[in-house]
């Protein structure tokens, strides 16, 4: 069995590893460290949670132990897609380099430029940065990348997904072509092939797991959910989430709840807080200090539920996460692998639960195709089918469904003695009227003749004297029923 002592790391680095309690490297570490120490480019592909950070940090520290940094010219560069991942890399660097005199600078958003400039001016051996903030410093003339010896792109596929392709290509163009390049990613999207072919020279390819596979220690389930009504689906979905959490009971010691949209992150977090769950939100719109404090509280066990967007899906090392809840089915199938990879780390058992609505059908199919397995379906813990109508909602009455829909319009009709009475213009079932008195019959006949539109009616108007007309009364469809007064008028004309 390979041990860290067999990898020819520097003695001071080996001492830090021993003090951290690590003895056996993971497959990606055992495969990537030797060629990296030889100075070769490396393309490492492994599922999340397998120790990719140490795969490039350990050989980088060993190689940089010899030499000295110059002002504004860092010797190595590590690019990370998010602030949290960059901060985690910095923590790993501190752990493994505590016996080596190396300096570092962390360039991320939400931190003062002045403090970062002061570190760069002194000269740093390792520069850990997000692409945007790195280019900001470069454009301000505070940074030179011509002294880069080792360049690392961590979570390369996430970089591409977040639209960093132009920035990555520009950063590569600013570094010497003699640099050593290390690419590490959980998946290998086709777009990465072009980048690796362009910027890596005969890389050592280490692929320790099939692309886009989840750890076997993670139990996966999905609940197929359909709201009773469209306007109630969001609330009922949050009810289902709480029911899933309650169903896990004490086994759910802590969990990350993933949402696709930042707005939903805040809504779900506030909903959990409202019902007494210890939860907090983390996403890209929050201040860096707030994001750091929330994440640290979750790591320390002071916070039970972390409601997050995909900003927390990649690379964050919180070893003891018991559950992952996908409140939304991720739009990109690869994100599912990274989300559920937050649990079941370092050989621990984990559980991942997902809620899928009918609109997520295609995304769910894409995920199952990617991981090459069907995610087991789980019955709703609410005890009723999600598609059942709300008990408070009125049930539909089948008696109202008729072949032809008749509109009943009430109109004011004056009886023979001049009194007003409300009567429907058309009834569903015709009732033969009683024979009216002769005088009343005559009044009805005259009214029918008077209300009949003239033949000169065009465009809904009757043209009268002086070209001025009145709008014709709206004719309401009466189905098969013929009002009695119309029949009487024809009978009188026939008699005349």
The model's pLDDT over 406-456, given as tens digits with 9 standing for 90+, comes to 444 444 444 434 444 344 444 444 444 444 454 545 545 455 444 544 444
At residue 45, the pLDDT reads 87
The model's pLDDT over 43-84, given as tens digits with 9 standing for 90+, comes to 998 776 678 889 999 999 999 988 777 788 999 999 998 888
Distance CA 196, CA 308 (A): 31
Lowest-confidence segment of 110-119, 176-185, 190-199, 399-408 by average pLDDT? 399-408
- Apex CA 116: angle with CA 110 and CA 120, to 5°? 155
Lowest-confidence segment of 107-111, 288-292, 417-421, 466-470 by average pLDDT? 417-421
204-207 vs 42-45, strand pairing mode: parallel
In the chain, which segments carry CATH 3.40.50.300? 4-207, 218-371
At residue 175, the pLDDT reads 95
| Helices (H) then strands (E): counts for the chain | 16, 17
Place of tokens 């790391």: 9
DSSP-H helix ranges across 229-343 = 233-248, 262-274, 288-299, 333-340
Distance CA 243, CA 236 (A): 10
Q: Which residue has the higher pLDDT, 126 or 283?
A: 126
**3-class DSSP state of 222:** strand
- Apex CA 351: angle with CA 230 and CA 220, to 5°? 65
Query: HSE (CB half, 13 Å, CA atoms) of 314?
Result: 27
The model's pLDDT over 298-316, given as tens digits with 9 standing for 90+, comes to 988 999 999 998 866 565 6
Lowest-confidence segment of 148-162, 362-376, 394-408 by average pLDDT? 394-408
* 212 exposure class (CB count in 10 Å sphere: 0-12, 13-18, 19+): buried
Domain formed by 218-371, architecture: 3-Layer(aba) Sandwich (3.40)
DSSP-H helix ranges across 257-397 = 262-274, 288-299, 333-340, 361-371
Place of tokens 């041990």: 3
CA dihedral sign, ordered 230, 268, 311, 30: negative
Residue 278 neighbours by CB under 8 Å, 6+ apart: 303, 304, 305
Distance CA 185, CA 46 (A): 7
At residue 395, the pLDDT reads 40
Domain formed by 4-207, architecture: 3-Layer(aba) Sandwich (3.40)
């Amino acid at each position: 069995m390979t041990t860290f002592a067999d990898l020819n790391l520097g003695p001071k680095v080996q001492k830090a590893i021993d003090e951290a309690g690590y003895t056996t490297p993971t497959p990606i570490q055992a495969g990537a460290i030797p060629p990296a120490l030889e100075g070769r480019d490396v393309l490492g592909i492994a599922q999340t949670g397998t120790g990719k950070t140490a795969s490039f940090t350990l050989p980088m520290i060993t190689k940089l132990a010899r030499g000295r940094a110059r002002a504004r010219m860092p010797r190595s560069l590590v690019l990370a897609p998010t602030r949290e991942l960059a901060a985690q890399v910095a923590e790993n660097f501190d752990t493994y380099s505590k016996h080596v005199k190396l300096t570092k600078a962390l360039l991320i958003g939400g931190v003062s430029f002045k403090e970062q400039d002061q570190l760069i001016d002194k000269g740093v051996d390792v520069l850990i940065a997000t692409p945007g903030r790195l280019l900001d410093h470069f454009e301000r003339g505070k940074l030179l990348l011509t002294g880069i010896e080792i360049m690392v792109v961590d979570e390369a596929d996430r970089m591409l997904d977040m639209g960093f392709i132009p920035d990555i290509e520009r950063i590569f163009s600013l570094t010497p072509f003699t640099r050593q390049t290390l690419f590490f990613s959980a998946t290998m999207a086709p777009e990465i092939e072009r980048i690796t072919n362009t910027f890596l020279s005969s890389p050592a390819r280490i692929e320790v797991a099939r692309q886009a596979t989840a750890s076997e220690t993670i139990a996966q389930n999905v609940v197929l959910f359909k709201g009773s009504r469209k306007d109630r689906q969001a609330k009922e979905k949050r009810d289902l989430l709480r029911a899933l959490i309650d169903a896990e009971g004490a086994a759910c010691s802590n969990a990350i709840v993933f949402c696709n949209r930042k707005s939903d992150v805040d809504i779900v977090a506030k909903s959990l807080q409202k019902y007494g769950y210890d939860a907090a939100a983390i996403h890209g719109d929050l201040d860096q200090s707030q994001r750091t404090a929330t994440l640290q509280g979750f790591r320390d066990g002071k916070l039970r539920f972390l409601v997050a967007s995909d900003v927390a899906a990649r690379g964050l090392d919180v070893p003891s996460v018991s559950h992952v809840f996908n409140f939304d089915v991720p739009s990109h199938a690869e994100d599912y692998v990274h989300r559920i990879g937050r649990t079941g780390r370092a050989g621990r058992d984990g559980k991942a639960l997902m809620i899928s609505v009918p609109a997520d059908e295609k995304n769910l199919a894409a995920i199952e195709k990617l991981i090459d397995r069907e995610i087991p379906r789980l019955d709703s813990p609410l005890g009723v089918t999600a598609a059942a109508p709300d008990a408070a909602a009125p049930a539909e009455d089948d008696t109202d469904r008729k072949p032809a829909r008749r509109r009943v319009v009430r109109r004011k009709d004056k009886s023979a003695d001049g009194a007003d009475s409300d009567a429907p213009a058309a009834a569903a079932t015709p009732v033969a009227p009683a024979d009216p008195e002769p005088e009343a019959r005559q009044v009805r006949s005259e009214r029918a003749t008077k209300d009949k539109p003239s033949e000169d009616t065009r465009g809904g108007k009757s043209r009268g004297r002086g070209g001025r007309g009145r709008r014709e009364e709206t004719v309401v469809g009466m189905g098969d029923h013929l009002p009695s007064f119309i029949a009487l008028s024809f009978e009188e004309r026939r008699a005349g």
